Every structure is written in C-alpha cells, then in structure tokens.
A and B are shown apart, each in its own frame.
Chain A
C-alpha cells in the first residue's frame, strides 16, 4: 500500500515537473530575438518543426544521431575513453536494471513467460548489471574526487547524482544479501512453495540443505550435517525449490554480502532489516524519479533532445521561435560533465582572473539562473557578463559537448541579452570583440554600438581632465606611482625617455586616418607617452587613442629613444580597465 502510494506520488511529481520544464522551454527568453515571441507561437512552431522534420528527409540525420551520439555516445568516446566507459557502464546497466528488474512484471515477464527473479539468467544478470553500475559510479567518484582534472568543478547536483545512484545500488545489493541469509524469508518461501512447516522432519532436511549449500542462516541448525539428511534435503529442494530458484551463489555480489553479514544475520533478520532496506531501496528510486525533472538526471530526456534538435537546426535556416526554444532547452541539457571546460581555450586564465563564469561548464549554470530569474544580484550579473565575454569564440566547447549543446550560440545570445542591461563591459574593447564584429549583421545597429560606447564612456568618465581640453594643467605630477613606472612587464619606465619628437604619432596609421585626430582620439601617442612621464593619469588613461590603438607596433619600432610605445599603451589599457572595474565595484558595492 505504502509502496503504491509513494510510487504514484513520485510519478505525479515527476510528470508535473516535466510539464513545468516543458513550459519553461517554451517560455524562458534567451537571445534578443526571442523577446517578442509569445509562448503560444513557440509551441506551434515547435510542433510544426518536429512534424516537418520527422516526415522529411532529415529523419535520416535524426536516426544517425540517435544511434551514434545518443546510444553509443560517440562524442564522449572521441573525447575521453575513461569518461565514455564510466557513462556507458552507468547508463546502459542502469537502463537494463530499470527495464529488467524494476519493471520486471511489465517487461521481463512479458518477454520471458518463465521469468522469475530468483532464476538464472535473471538472478545472475541482475547482479551483473548492478556490478557494472557500481563500477561506473566508482569511476565517476574517482574522476571527480581523486583524479580531479584541472578546473573541473563539482557542484551539489553532481554530488546528489552520485549519492542517489550509490544509495539505490547499495541498498539493493545489501537487501539481496540479507534476503539470501534470511531465515524468515526462507521459512515463508518453504511454506508457500514446499508446503512444509517448522518442526516437521522434512522441513529440517530441506533447511539443513539450504544452510549447508546456499547460506541460509538458521537459528537452530548448523553445519556439519549428516550426509543422509543433506541427501534428503537435496531431493526436497529439487522437488519444490530448484524449479524457480537458482543457486543463490549466482548472485555473485549479493551472496558475498550475505556471507559478510553472517554473524549478525539472525539478529538483523529478527529486526526486519530486509524490510527496512526494501523501504530505503524503493524510496530512493522514487525520490530519484520525483526529483528527476529538477536534477541533472533530466539530461536523460534533454540531452538526446538537444542532440537531435542541433543536428537538424542551423542559425540561418531555422525559425527564430524554435531557436529560442532550443536554447532554453539546452540550458537543461547540460550534465555539468566539464568536457567544455577541459577544452576551453581561455579556461586557464581563471587562475589569473578570478571569475568561474569564464569556464563554460559554470557559465551555462549561471546563465540558466539568469534566464530563470533565480539570479538577480548585480555584482554577480556583471561577473557573468564578464565571464561570458572572456571567450575567443573558438567553438571547441560546442564541438565537444556530449549533449550537443550549441554553446557558442548560447554565449552569443546571452551576451547580447546581458548588454541590454547597460552595465559597462570593458572586455569589448579588445580583440575578443573580433567575432562580434564578424557577426555584426546578426545584431541590430543600435544594439551593436551600445556596449562599445558604454565601455568607452565608463572609462573616460573617470578622467575629468579630458573633458576640459582648455584647462591649464600644472606640471606637478599627480600620480607618482604611474610616473615611477608601469610594472606589468619589462617595458616599465621606458616612456620616461620620451622627448616628444612625435615620430610615434607621425607613423601611427590611426592618427593618419583622421583629418583632425586630436578631436577624435583625445591624446596622440607622443602626448600619452609624455603625460605618462609626467604622471598625469587623467591624460594617460582618459584618451580614446588607447582603445583605437591597432597594436601594429609602428610607433615602437620607429621610436628613436627606444620607448616601448605600443607596450606602454597596452599597459595603460590594463590599468585603465582595472581602475574602471574597481570604480564600478565601489558604486555597485
């Protein structure tokens, strides 16, 4: 009774959770394009898309992806054999346990009319599959907690997944072990199948045989037994038991567990240990089921969907409504396996720039929290934006994602979304913007320029002097630290050799590009060198020239004084960004 009530409750939670998740895939907005598309339109587009794909030529692509990427896990195999083996062991063996063992009354019995859980090959196979899952779980634990590849993060969801699997498996195995040794279970089975009761002579013979051969722990009968008694027991066994009970030794994990518990078996049996374990076992399964839509196990559904959807969709040809839906679904398809992070081109810099959102596996979690409005903290938002921009768009995360998530497109959508909030993101003033520049035709012009203008303004606004060009500047250095040298690299202090000959400015292609360069660029290269030498930081940092520098090194190459002009400009940019960031931090608290 309790079993069925808890089963139906967890099933109901699972179904409601799943429906809720589907609703979020159709309603969560990600990407500027998704803003004006209502859920109803997304639902109809999704249905239309699915039907057209299934009944079109793309069905072959889907079948191919289904077998190679979903069933055989090709992407994980190509990337890392250890991870592939871990996952295959867990998922294949667990699926087999689910169908063959948990759903045996529906599936196994239907296929095999003579099915009995205690009969081979089922008895053996159940333990075999259980062993495979346990090996897989141990490998997962080894990878996450002992091997610990660089920058692989383990969050509470990963730990939950490992724990719930471990509880299900261990409770199942110990349950089996205690049942093998259990006298009470033995007794009721003998009553049911052999029609014998305790006290009868035949009962004694059968029990002696089972105690001797199959590890049953009897309160009064102990080995050694007389051969005739065992012979009689064997006959009874063959008559009443062996038809649907193979040797329990075939349960090659459960049996050793029974042996291990031998000493305490009688006490445990009296205390009803197998009932307790049975409750733990099925309740753990039901909790896993009910919580599935909210845990990383949802990937059992979402990762295949993501793989299938991505195999038949592309940025240009697909309906924007479906792209929005796919991207919302993709946020749930992430298994936090860390493949993307291990291959991330800029992953290493997280050691220098403390922002875990640089790592794709963490970034997607943060973006998920933003999209579902669970993350509203301003400082954290800016870290997510910055982490999302610190990306060279090398596509490696997308190439290796075993769930087929188009991460690069996801970052692109998320970035453009976040820019709408008008926080300055200084990394836009670097070659990291190259990709965005190549993609500019996908972004409305006003949206395109906005973050660039904002970043420049946020930096310039700190340096008042640049706003009043006519103001007389005292030649007393206002920043001795700056004057003392730029300490980031070996170029420190070369600027102090500048005597203002203007060679750098004269060879600068940026200066040459403007009719009135001073108006556009603020300070020209030689003026920046000179201002740095004088320690006038407003002039050194506030100039637009910094951000329009091509880093072509013409100036540095030709400086007669050996001033490392380009390198000095690089360092000034670093410092200006650092100052601006601390400025924003102090404002936002």
Chain B
C-alpha cells in the first residue's frame, strides 16, 4: 500500500508529533509513504477570501499526486475536506477545471482524471482494517475512557467527503476501541472544536472549545482523542491558553490518534512525540496493560 503523504502547513511547523507518530504507526502496518516536496497549502484557509485561489492551491496538490499516480493520505480533517471539495468541484465544473489547468500548465502540471483522497483514519479503517490493527496491538489499554472527536470537515458535507455516516458515525470509535480503550458516548462529539475562529473571534472559539471539553469530561472521559491538526492545536495549545488564564493547565488532555494507537502497539514515546504536546499526556501510559 503506497500513498503520497500530505502534511499541510500546521504539522511540520507546530505539530511534528503528528507526523512522526503517523509515520511510525503506518510503517508498523506496512504502509509506504511517499513525500512530495512540492505540495503546498491545501487551500482551506483561503476559502473565506478567494474561492478560486483556494481551488487552485488544492488542484496543484491533486495534480502533483496524480503525476506520481498516487492516492493522497492526509492527516488533517480541514485539508481533507478542502481537497475533497476541490476534487468534487473540478469534476463538476469543466470551465473552472480548464481555467485552473491553464494556470497549472505553466509549471507542467495538469489535473485530469482525479486522485483518491483519503484521511489517515479512512486508510486505517478501510484499507488496513480493524483486525489487522488489532493484531499489531501488543499492549492494549485497560480502563481507559476516550472522548472521540470526529471533526467537522471529515463528516460534512457528507455527500462530498463520504467519510462516514454524518449523523451516527462509528469509524473513529471503532479505531479507538481497537487499542483496548473505551470510546464513550458524549453529546457534543460531532460538534466543531472551535479552531476555525481562533484568531478571528477568540471569545467565541474558546467558548465552543470549553463547552466541548467540559461535556467530554463530564461524560467520564480520561482523554480526548482527535486526528486533525487544527482540532488538536485547539484542544491542546488553545485549551492550555484557556485554562492558564484561570491558573489551571487543562481540564481534559487531548491525544492524537496515532499517538494513542502507537502506544498500544508498543512504539516508544519519543517516536510518538508524547512530550511534544503542550498539555502533559504522559499519564496515559499508566493505562497500558503490562
């Protein structure tokens, strides 16, 4: 199994543990990753400002992986949603596709048939499968309750992203449970993390984050698990900012899914970048069975 790994902007700059843990887990599952140095911004942050610029940025990435004849594996949900949306629009709107291709041709690129765009979680669930993952889980968690956070742009708009059932998704819960942890039910599990408004309307963004964390915590979770760079920075870095104002550090630490899975596979904490999270998550190792 071979994919072009799309990291986006946030992960190499401020979330290197997501990359290192994802690589380690995928390597353990015999997935080959190819790095395309020329990948650029997925286009998501530009969509508010200029639709066509965002599609152009997306399309360039799609064209680059098409050139290598590789499906894209993406770690970020917002980037996943954006690439999916761009692929959808470029398929529907031939005029736009031609315009975009005219620009891309200046550097010898073209977007033609389309490439498969997959989020890390879809690859793990559909291409590898829960059973194979379970075979690799050597130290399953015990008595660990996880609040599984799906992330908006993976679930919706469902007709475009086609990730899982948008109302009652189970994919991520199953992946979390494959590590031996329990994925609890919590009311706000499908809500937005608040990240899209960080830097735009912090009060609102933090309010939404706080409500989610509170709900997850009150539902009995020990940790929150996510698989998106924006969501994770929100639940980690921004959560720390929220609670440090009140003198505390956090309410509910967040762990990236490949960190969680990696621990249960016996991958060492340095590779998984456990200490790189802003909020201390090393306590989770106490839930690992011996």
**Same complex:** yes
Closest residue of chain B to A514 (Cβ to Cβ) is B204
Whether A446 is near chain B, meaning CB under 8 Å from some CB there, is no
In Å, the complex CA distance between A422 and B194 comes to 28
Contact assessment for B198 and A433 in the assembled complex, using a CB-CB cutoff below 8 Å: yes
Contact mask B126-163 → A, CB, 8 Å, 1/0?
00000000000000000000000000110111100000
In Å, the complex CA distance between A40 and B173 comes to 61
Most chain A CB neighbours (cut-off 10 Å) among B10, B199, B230, B238: B199
In Å, the complex CA distance between A441 and B241 comes to 9
Whether A573 is near chain B, meaning CB under 8 Å from some CB there, is yes
Contact assessment for B200 and A452 in the assembled complex, using a CB-CB cutoff below 8 Å: yes
User: Which of A390, A427, A440, A489 is within 8 Å of B51, CB to CB?
Assistant: A489
Whether A352 is near chain B, meaning CB under 8 Å from some CB there, is yes
In Å, the complex CA distance between A509 and B212 comes to 11
Stretch at the interface among B20-28, B42-50, B114-122, B216-224: B42-50
Contact assessment for A433 and B200 in the assembled complex, using a CB-CB cutoff below 8 Å: yes
- Assuming the contacts A437-B199, A489-B89, A553-B153, asked whether A351 and B103 have C-beta atoms less than 8 A apart, the reply is yes
Whether A550 is near chain B, meaning CB under 8 Å from some CB there, is yes
Contact assessment for B194 and A556 in the assembled complex, using a CB-CB cutoff below 8 Å: no
- Assuming the contacts A352-B103, A427-B49, asked whether A346 and B57 have C-beta atoms less than 8 A apart, the reply is yes
In Å, the complex CA distance between A438 and B236 comes to 11
Whether A161 is near chain B, meaning CB under 8 Å from some CB there, is no
In Å, the complex CA distance between A107 and B41 comes to 52
B56 to chain A, nearest CB (A): 5
Contact assessment for A509 and B208 in the assembled complex, using a CB-CB cutoff below 8 Å: yes
Contact assessment for B199 and A435 in the assembled complex, using a CB-CB cutoff below 8 Å: yes
Q: Which residues of B contact A571 (CB under 8 A)?
A: 51
Q: Which residues of A contact B290 (CB under 8 A)?
A: none
Q: Which residues of A contact B103 (CB under 8 A)?
A: 351-352
Whether A242 is near chain B, meaning CB under 8 Å from some CB there, is no
Contact mask A402-446 → B, CB, 8 Å, 1/0?
000000000000000000000000111111111111101100000
Number of B residues with CB within 8 Å of any CB on chain A = 57
In Å, the complex CA distance between A83 and B48 comes to 37
In Å, the complex CA distance between A435 and B92 comes to 33
Q: Which residues of A contact B201 (CB under 8 A)?
A: 452, 547-548
Contact assessment for B56 and A348 in the assembled complex, using a CB-CB cutoff below 8 Å: yes
A185 to chain B, nearest CB (A): 53
Whether A167 is near chain B, meaning CB under 8 Å from some CB there, is no
In Å, the complex CA distance between A577 and B233 comes to 28
Stretch at the interface among A113-121, A122-130, A249-257, A392-400: A392-400
Contact assessment for B50 and A353 in the assembled complex, using a CB-CB cutoff below 8 Å: yes
Closest residue of chain B to A435 (Cβ to Cβ) is B199
Q: Which residues of B contact A394 (CB under 8 A)?
A: 8-10, 12-13, 41
Contact assessment for B191 and A438 in the assembled complex, using a CB-CB cutoff below 8 Å: no
Whether B36 is near chain A, meaning CB under 8 Å from some CB there, is no
Whether B71 is near chain A, meaning CB under 8 Å from some CB there, is no
Closest residue of chain A to B7 (Cβ to Cβ) is A394
Closest residue of chain A to B52 (Cβ to Cβ) is A352
In Å, the complex CA distance between A435 and B93 comes to 33
B250 to chain A, nearest CB (A): 16
Number of A residues with CB within 8 Å of any CB on chain B = 56
Contact assessment for A430 and B89 in the assembled complex, using a CB-CB cutoff below 8 Å: no
In Å, the complex CA distance between A548 and B197 comes to 7
- Assuming the contacts A395-B12, A488-B52, asked whether A551 and B152 have C-beta atoms less than 8 A apart, the reply is yes
Contact assessment for B40 and A344 in the assembled complex, using a CB-CB cutoff below 8 Å: yes
Contact assessment for B45 and A392 in the assembled complex, using a CB-CB cutoff below 8 Å: yes
Q: Which of B90-130 contact A (CB under 8 A)?
A: 92-93, 96, 103, 106-107
- Assuming the contacts A353-B53, A393-B9, A557-B156, asked whether A513 and B200 have C-beta atoms less than 8 A apart, the reply is no
Contact assessment for B46 and A550 in the assembled complex, using a CB-CB cutoff below 8 Å: no
User: Which of A346, A395, A427 is within 8 Å of B40, CB to CB?
Assistant: A346
Q: Which residues of A contact B200 (CB under 8 A)?
A: 428-431, 433, 437, 452, 547-548
Whether B273 is near chain A, meaning CB under 8 Å from some CB there, is no
- Assuming the contacts A150-B107, A434-B195, A513-B207, asked whether A440 and B202 have C-beta atoms less than 8 A apart, the reply is yes
Contact assessment for A395 and B238 in the assembled complex, using a CB-CB cutoff below 8 Å: no
Whether B277 is near chain A, meaning CB under 8 Å from some CB there, is no
A251 to chain B, nearest CB (A): 43
Contact assessment for A574 and B51 in the assembled complex, using a CB-CB cutoff below 8 Å: yes
- Assuming the contacts A351-B106, A430-B200, A570-B48, asked whether A509 and B192 have C-beta atoms less than 8 A apart, the reply is yes
Contact assessment for A434 and B51 in the assembled complex, using a CB-CB cutoff below 8 Å: no
Contact assessment for B48 and A429 in the assembled complex, using a CB-CB cutoff below 8 Å: yes
In Å, the complex CA distance between A414 and B111 comes to 36
Closest residue of chain B to A556 (Cβ to Cβ) is B157
Contact mask B52-70 → A, CB, 8 Å, 1/0?
1100110010000000000
Q: Which residues of B contact A393 (CB under 8 A)?
A: 9, 13
Q: Which residues of A contact B8 (CB under 8 A)?
A: 394
Q: Which residues of A contact B44 (CB under 8 A)?
A: 431
User: Which of A345, A349, A552 is within 8 Å of B50, CB to CB?
Assistant: A349
Q: Which residues of A contact B50 (CB under 8 A)?
A: 349, 352-353, 574, 577
Whether A337 is near chain B, meaning CB under 8 Å from some CB there, is no
B160 to chain A, nearest CB (A): 9
Q: Which residues of B contact A509 (CB under 8 A)?
A: 191-192, 208
Contact assessment for A490 and B92 in the assembled complex, using a CB-CB cutoff below 8 Å: yes
Whether B237 is near chain A, meaning CB under 8 Å from some CB there, is yes
Q: Which of B1-24 contact A (CB under 8 A)?
A: 8-10, 12-14
Contact mask A359-376 → B, CB, 8 Å, 1/0?
000000000000000000
Q: Which residues of B contact A347 (CB under 8 A)?
A: 40
A411 to chain B, nearest CB (A): 13
Whether B179 is near chain A, meaning CB under 8 Å from some CB there, is no
Whether A510 is near chain B, meaning CB under 8 Å from some CB there, is yes
Closest residue of chain B to A440 (Cβ to Cβ) is B202
Q: Which residues of B contact A543 (CB under 8 A)?
A: none
In Å, the complex CA distance between A488 and B205 comes to 28
B99 to chain A, nearest CB (A): 10
- Assuming the contacts A510-B204, A570-B48, A571-B51, asked whether A557 and B13 have C-beta atoms less than 8 A apart, the reply is no
Whether A527 is near chain B, meaning CB under 8 Å from some CB there, is no
- Assuming the contacts A150-B106, A427-B49, A566-B157, asked whether A438 and B198 have C-beta atoms less than 8 A apart, the reply is yes
Q: Which residues of A contact B152 (CB under 8 A)?
A: 550-554
Q: Which residues of A contact B49 (CB under 8 A)?
A: 390, 426-427, 430, 432, 573-574, 577
Q: Which residues of B contact A436 (CB under 8 A)?
A: 199
A431-B44, A452-B200 known, 5 other contacts, Cβ within 8 Å:
A352-B53, A426-B49, A548-B201, A552-B152, A553-B153
Q: Can you report 29 residue pairs joining A to B where beta carbons are below 8 Å apart? A: A346-B41, A349-B53, A349-B57, A351-B106, A353-B53, A392-B10, A429-B200, A430-B45, A430-B47, A431-B44, A433-B200, A434-B198, A435-B199, A437-B199, A437-B200, A437-B238, A490-B89, A509-B192, A509-B208, A513-B208, A550-B208, A551-B152, A551-B196, A554-B156, A556-B157, A566-B157, A567-B157, A570-B48, A571-B51
What 5 A-B pairs are tightest by C-beta distance, nearest first?
A: A437-B199, A433-B199, A553-B156, A394-B9, A437-B198
